[in-house]
Chain A
Amino acid sequence: GIQVEQSPPDLILQEGANSTLRCNFSDSVNNLQWFHQNPWGQLINLFYIPSGTKQNGRLSATTVATERYSLLYISSSQTTDSGVYFCAVEWGGGFKTIFGAGTRLFVKA
């Protein structure tokens, strides 16, 4: 099956800093999503981005499908950005959605 790897596994930032999270996948995918899981466990949709670049406020994402990776950029981080960031890919003829292990982000005030 497909492998979805996220890096770094853990990240500590000072408020105001920028960061880049990476998602590598081992096979062609039909689509890719980025989620933020808040401290209460809710998965919040950030981007639906099978290819190209999208921006939403301080967040942006880029997926290069031909090279099998996606990047999530967080600029001017805030304490409320803390949580776990997951990428999830839809893969295969059955369109299964597979998650990476996540990047745990803590933003210090």
Chain B
Amino acid sequence: EAGVAQSPRYKIIEKRQSVAFWCNPISGHATLYWYQQILGQGPKLLIQFQNNGVVDDSQLPKDRFSAERLKGVDSTLKIQPAKLEDSAVYLCASSLGENTEAFFGQGTRLTVV
């Protein structure tokens, strides 16, 4: 089966610009996650969707980050405006549902200069 697809793989932007990332989960997976991984740290959960509803977004900096999962399939994560500290790898994951194994995409490496 196809894995979690993410694009782009790499992105370099200037601070105060906006950027968007795309994720297509494994077919049939109801739960979708976005994580931020800063160099040298473990992934941090930003937002979790169950179908097209938000389960948890407590660690999403809502003044600049937004995410949506229209139609309960693919998802986009947007940053506007970007800051230097947003430089990180953004990982998308999906699972069949709660309490099931999660699978990760290859991530998008963002550099803000």
Contact = CB atoms under 8 A, between A and B. Distances in A.
A14 B53 CA distance: 48
Interface residues of B, number: 24
Interface string A27-62: 000110101000011110100100000000000000
Contact of A99 (B43, B55, B100, B103): B43
B42 A100 contact: yes
B55 A101 contact: no
Contacts of B103: 45
B109 A41 contact: yes
B56 interface: yes
A90 B42 contact: no
A41 B44 contact: no
Interface string B19-61: 0000000000001010100000111110010000001100000
A95 B100 CA distance: 10
B106 A41 contact: yes
B104 A42 contact: yes
A25 interface: no
Kindly name the residue among A41, A48, A100, A102 whose own CB sees the greatest number of chain B CB atoms within 10 A: A41
A96 B99 contact: no
Contacts of B41: 101-102
B1 interface: no
Kindly name the residue among A33, A43, A102 whose own CB sees the greatest number of chain B CB atoms within 10 A: A43
A106 interface: no
Kindly name the residue among A30, A48, A94, A95 whose own CB sees the greatest number of chain B CB atoms within 10 A: A95
A99 B109 contact: no
A42 B98 CA distance: 22
Given A30-B98, A41-B89, 11 more contacts: A40-B106, A41-B106, A42-B104, A42-B106, A43-B104, A48-B101, A88-B43, A90-B98, A90-B99, A97-B102, A98-B45
Interface of B: 31, 33, 35, 41-45, 48, 55-56, 89, 91, 93, 98-104, 106-107, 109
